[in-house]
A and B are shown apart, each in its own frame.
Chain A
Amino acid sequence: MTGINQIARYKLSRRRFLEGATAAGSVAGISTLGLGQAWADEQPKPAEIVVRAWGGVWVESLKAGVSDPFTQMTGIAVRHDLTEDNEIQPKVWAAVDQGRVPPININWDTTINATKSALRGVTEDLSDLPNLANVLPVAKPEGLEGVPLVNVYAYVYVLAYRNEAFPSGAPTSWNDLLDPRFKGRVALYNDGIGMHAPAVVAGGGKLADIPANMQPAWDYFSKLKAQNPLLGEDPDFTAWFQKGEIDVACTISSNAREAKKNGIPVAWTVPKEGATLDTDCLWIPKGLPAADLYWTKQYVNYAIGQAGQQAWLGPLGLPGVVPGLTPPEDLVGDLSYPTTSDDLAKLLQVSPKIQVEHQSEWFAKFKEIMQG
């Protein structure tokens, strides 16, 4: 299959996302856990389940929005494992390979990472989750057999900036990062994640060029390299903004928002070229005892229900996958919280499958430019 076909298919899915988003879907199964009650009674309950999560506001929102209500309803405690998503992956893979019970019941993961696990065949099928009936099409992964993972929200890699550095208003283009006055004051994720699509567009290409022609992105990154950018991760960005090391960064909107809430003078914007839209998901590794698997699925089911989504994603400021969620007040009209088809048209989406297929190649090229 060719990349162009994949893009065509993915465009279709984006349209499906929109249809769902605009439909005033009826809300069903809010509080019930789904599946037959009689069968549920027969399943012995584990004392606890372990959910991998990111730290800080991420785990706090999950705990308050999903885990605590789940414990209240089922009596099953929820433990949060804060190992980074990319660092838990080899642990889970080794456990499944060696026939051990995996160290976590649920992985809250990027869809890219999770797709690799799905391709490897270490994920449980989730197609019997009752709440899947009420989610937007984007929740179900494209191009994978069954439902090895459920997407739970979308997020945007925005251009975050220090207010002080832009007295006359927000930057309007990713090319503003190339302005000589930001030499040494630009930050990106150290694997370049979130930047490939904007780099293609800012480098003179089109979204449809991905993955066939990435040259515009490499040209853009080469110019950016001359700016001596800092490469790091979210805690670095926050610290660097706080300590005046950088003026601009490509980062996930939730983290910029969290930094702002903690008194760091940053704002964010989606430049005219657009910004990357990606999704995160939940999945269950193979190898859990049957009863544990049953209750673990109930957790995922609750997390994609209306109540779970609203309570969980509000504090994160992220658009969920069920219709009818109320956006946080400060994000109404913000492109980093897309709600309309117009919003989505301004964002850049590359299918997880294409990203997974080309990740190591793009990564190597990015590193080659940045480590030169």
Chain B
Amino acid sequence: MRHYSTAYPLSWRIFDAVEALAKRVWPARFAPWLPYLLLLPALLVTGLLVIGLIEIADSSLHVLDKATFRSSESYSLENFERALTASLFRNIGLRSFLGAILVTAVTLVLAFPYAYVLVRTESPILRKLLLIVLFLPFFIGQVVRAYGWLIILGNEGILNTSLSFLGIGPFRLLFNYWAVLFGLVQTMIPFAVLMLAPALTAIPKETERAAESLGANWIRTFQYVVIPLARPGMVGAAIVVFTLTLTDFAIPAVLGGGSNDFIANAIYDQFFRTSDAGLGSALTLLLIIAGSAAVGVALLLVGIGTLGLAGHDDD
């Protein structure tokens, strides 16, 4: 039989061996469970954070004893009560949520055309340039980047100096809520573009051309063809931007001038300034619950529990 088996290319034999192995490890009757097996690594890696959360949950149930700077032995809900009733945290919470919604909307409006041009352009050089521009901000640390903004948008910055030639300004462009939102949008654009781009590559150009040849102008083509087909990517991008904005720490700290904190800044303060890990933990848990609930509701509303094909959605 030897001459017979050599008639197959080597790769076939390797495939056969792998298939046989796969069959042994995961027999066909387990097939319904295969998706869960495939999810397992991701569940485990994320599980690391969950183990950490258990510690945080425990810590949230103990009040700080200022005589020993340790958490008290007894359990109590006092930290949650403080977190939920103090007007400071309510203000900050509202500010964070409102900010996250606004930033998500604006980011999508800017990221969509960027991703579209990125994947549709015929010029490989332009594509690479757009890609590099996308990654640039990551490499300039937050503090140094904030300094760059100061040089551009500060009272005596490039923009205000230019405006003064026209006889207007100077305007305080930095260190307010709008500056924070602007900085967040700038930070989030790359994420949104990279979430959208793969979805857009999957939409064949012919589909668009077909719509246009049927007389649709480009706005209608976008409205009825491109955007609906890109919806999984849009939902992904929106959820990523929303959650990252909601929990952001650095931008409000460096562009908010200190009086536009988000929830994560309040959490930082408790862990690192007042050494009150209990209150910090309570705020952390509340933020996670609120953020997860928002995501859950969004997934239900959007009606595509899956990011993939709508036809597969069953729940």
> Quick check: do A and B touch in the complex, using CB within 8 A?
yes
Complex contact B258–A370 (CB within 8 A): yes
Say how far B86's CB is from chain A's closest CB, in angstroms. Answer: 7
Contact of B273 among A86, A229, A356 (CB under 8 A): A86
Say how far A183's CB is from chain B's closest CB, in angstroms. Answer: 10
Residue of B nearest to A362 (CB): B274
Residue of A nearest to B154 (CB): A243
Complex contact A89–B92 (CB within 8 A): no
Q: Which residues of B contact A363 (CB under 8 A)?
A: 269, 273-274
Cα of A116 to Cα of B269 in the assembled complex, Å: 15
Cα of A117 to Cα of B143 in the assembled complex, Å: 29
Q: A191-B269, A230-B258, A231-B257 are in contact. Are A372 and B276 (CB under 8 A)?
A: no
- Interface residue A364 (Cβ < 8 Å from any Cβ of B): yes
Q: Which residues of B contact A116 (CB under 8 A)?
A: 69, 275
Say how far B302's CB is from chain A's closest CB, in angstroms. Answer: 33
Complex contact B151–A86 (CB within 8 A): no
Contact of A360 among B68, B155, B258, B276 (CB under 8 A): B276
Cα of A368 to Cα of B90 in the assembled complex, Å: 10
Contact of A120 among B70, B88, B151, B174 (CB under 8 A): B70
- Interface residue B157 (Cβ < 8 Å from any Cβ of A): yes
Complex contact B88–A235 (CB within 8 A): no
B53-99 with Cβ < 8 A to chain A: 64, 66-70, 86-88, 91-92
Cα of A357 to Cα of B273 in the assembled complex, Å: 13
Size band of the A side of the interface? Answer: 35 or more
Cα of A245 to Cα of B66 in the assembled complex, Å: 39
B239-256 with Cβ < 8 A to chain A: none
B251-305 with Cβ < 8 A to chain A: 257-261, 266, 269, 271-277
Cα of A367 to Cα of B86 in the assembled complex, Å: 11
Q: Which residues of B contact A230 (CB under 8 A)?
A: 175, 257-258
Say how far A84's CB is from chain B's closest CB, in angstroms. Answer: 8
- Interface residue A119 (Cβ < 8 Å from any Cβ of B): yes
Cα of A230 to Cα of B257 in the assembled complex, Å: 5
Cα of A354 to Cα of B203 in the assembled complex, Å: 66
Q: Which residues of B contact A244 (CB under 8 A)?
A: 154-156
- Interface residue B150 (Cβ < 8 Å from any Cβ of A): yes
Say how far A3's CB is from chain B's closest CB, in angstroms. Answer: 14
Cα of A240 to Cα of B273 in the assembled complex, Å: 23
- Interface residue A121 (Cβ < 8 Å from any Cβ of B): yes
Q: Which residues of B contact A229 (CB under 8 A)?
A: 258-259
- Interface residue B120 (Cβ < 8 Å from any Cβ of A): no
Q: Which residues of B contact A245 (CB under 8 A)?
A: 150, 154-156, 174-175
Complex contact A368–B156 (CB within 8 A): no
Residue of B nearest to A121 (CB): B68
Complex contact A235–B155 (CB within 8 A): no
Residue of B nearest to A246 (CB): B155
Cα of A239 to Cα of B154 in the assembled complex, Å: 11
- Interface residue B23 (Cβ < 8 Å from any Cβ of A): no
- Interface residue A168 (Cβ < 8 Å from any Cβ of B): no
Residue of B nearest to A115 (CB): B69
Q: A121-B68, A243-B151, A244-B154 are in contact. Are A231 and B272 (CB under 8 A)?
A: no
- Interface residue B220 (Cβ < 8 Å from any Cβ of A): no
Say how far B50's CB is from chain A's closest CB, in angstroms. Answer: 18
Say how far A278's CB is from chain B's closest CB, in angstroms. Answer: 15
- Interface residue B147 (Cβ < 8 Å from any Cβ of A): yes
Cα of A303 to Cα of B64 in the assembled complex, Å: 34
Complex contact A364–B88 (CB within 8 A): yes
Say how far B122's CB is from chain A's closest CB, in angstroms. Answer: 43
Cα of A239 to Cα of B156 in the assembled complex, Å: 12
Contact of A232 among B155, B257, B260 (CB under 8 A): B257
Residue of A nearest to B143 (CB): A235
- Interface residue A359 (Cβ < 8 Å from any Cβ of B): yes
Against B, the Cβ 8 Å flags (1 = close, 0 = not) of A203-233 are: 0000000000000000000000000111110
Residue of B nearest to A231 (CB): B258
Complex contact B259–A231 (CB within 8 A): yes
Cα of A363 to Cα of B271 in the assembled complex, Å: 13
Complex contact B150–A243 (CB within 8 A): yes
- Interface residue A25 (Cβ < 8 Å from any Cβ of B): no
Say how far B85's CB is from chain A's closest CB, in angstroms. Answer: 12
Complex contact A371–B156 (CB within 8 A): no
- Interface residue B172 (Cβ < 8 Å from any Cβ of A): yes
Complex contact B275–A371 (CB within 8 A): no
Complex contact B92–A371 (CB within 8 A): yes
- Interface residue A184 (Cβ < 8 Å from any Cβ of B): yes
Against B, the Cβ 8 Å flags (1 = close, 0 = not) of A84-96 are: 0011011000000
Complex contact A243–B157 (CB within 8 A): yes
Cα of A257 to Cα of B87 in the assembled complex, Å: 39
- Interface residue A190 (Cβ < 8 Å from any Cβ of B): yes
Q: A230-B258, A232-B258 are in contact. Are A90 and B277 (CB under 8 A)?
A: yes
Cα of A277 to Cα of B174 in the assembled complex, Å: 32
Cα of A150 to Cα of B143 in the assembled complex, Å: 33
Complex contact B86–A239 (CB within 8 A): no
Q: Which residues of A contact B87 (CB under 8 A)?
A: 368
Q: Which residues of A contact B143 (CB under 8 A)?
A: 235
Cα of A166 to Cα of B259 in the assembled complex, Å: 26
Cα of A277 to Cα of B305 in the assembled complex, Å: 59
Contact of B272 among A86, A117, A359, A364 (CB under 8 A): A86
Against B, the Cβ 8 Å flags (1 = close, 0 = not) of A344-372 are: 00000000000011011001100110111
Residue of A nearest to B91 (CB): A371
Complex contact B91–A239 (CB within 8 A): no
Interface residue ranges, B against A (CB under 8 Å) = 64, 66-70, 86-88, 91-92, 143, 147, 150-151, 154-157, 172, 174-175, 257-261, 266, 269, 271-277
Q: What are some 15 contacts across the A-B interface (CB < 8 A)?
A: A89-B275, A120-B68, A121-B68, A184-B172, A191-B269, A228-B259, A232-B258, A243-B151, A243-B156, A244-B156, A245-B150, A245-B155, A357-B66, A370-B258, A371-B88
Interface residue ranges, A against B (CB under 8 Å) = 86-87, 89-90, 116-117, 119-121, 184, 188, 190-191, 228-232, 235, 239-240, 243-245, 356-357, 359-360, 363-364, 367-368, 370-372
14 extra interchain contacts, Cβ-Cβ under 8 A, other than A230-B175, A232-B257? A86-B273, A116-B275, A119-B67, A119-B69, A232-B258, A243-B157, A245-B155, A360-B64, A363-B269, A363-B273, A363-B274, A367-B88, A367-B266, A371-B259
